[in-house]
Amino acid sequence: MDIYKDFLKNYLSDKRINHSVSTAKLMQKYADFFKINSEKAYISGILHDTARELPDKEIIKLAKKFIKRKVCKINYMKFKLNHPHLLHGVASAELMISKLKIQDGEILEAACYHTLGGKHLTNLAKLTFISDYCEPLRNNSASRKVLKILIKEKNFNKAYFYTYHFLLKYLLYKNKIICPESIEGYNEAILSN
């Protein structure tokens, strides 16, 4: 049995574990094609949502602990503290360090940025952002379109751009507040598309 899947049972529902496994398998399958380490891709995919179902107070506590480690810069903290669910990736990174002794900065960064995206991300972080959005268990037309771009067209930059496109379109449609980090990532992605 997968040690990471067993680990997730301490934190996540079966539905969220299935999402994480599906994300990991998608990332692992296509990582080599996009010149990304497939082992790192699998670990990033399976652990990105570890803290997703924790209470807000616990997410904040773990995120603050991670930030003190200075592994990678976490932007817009004031905004994110007002919306703690946006910090679940940062909290997941802290659990990776404290519980699994994962020290790889790329994997930790990928967890931190998988929800909102951002500027100047590694390709592993970009693939985690894309795959979290379009893994095969996601059953909506926008996710399926991004998945098709990624696996049929094999167009990484286009899939990255469309992940932002559909994410921001959804937030605008729902009249939700948008973190500037996603807008910055979108602006960077549109220039590389």
Residue 1 — very low, low, confident or very high, per pLDDT cuts 50/70/90?
very low
Torsion angle of C-alpha atoms 114, 111, 180, 171, degrees rounded to 10: 30
pTM over 0.75: yes
pLDDT at 2: 82
**Spatial distance between the Cα atoms of 67 and 71, rounded to a whole number of angstroms:** 7
What share of the chain has pLDDT > 90, as a percent? 96
**Spatial distance between the Cα atoms of 91 and 151, rounded to a whole number of angstroms:** 30
Task: Judge whether residue 15 has pLDDT over 60.
Answer: yes
Query: In order of start, what are the domains of the chain with their CATH numbers?
Result: 3-192 (1.10.3210.10)
pLDDT (tens digit per residue) in 43-57: 999 999 999 999 999
Are 107 and 172 a contacting pair, CB within 8 Å?
A: no
Task: Judge whether residue 163 has pLDDT over 80.
Answer: yes
pLDDT (tens digit per residue) in 57-109: 999 999 999 999 999 999 999 999 999 999 999 999 999 999 999 999 999 99
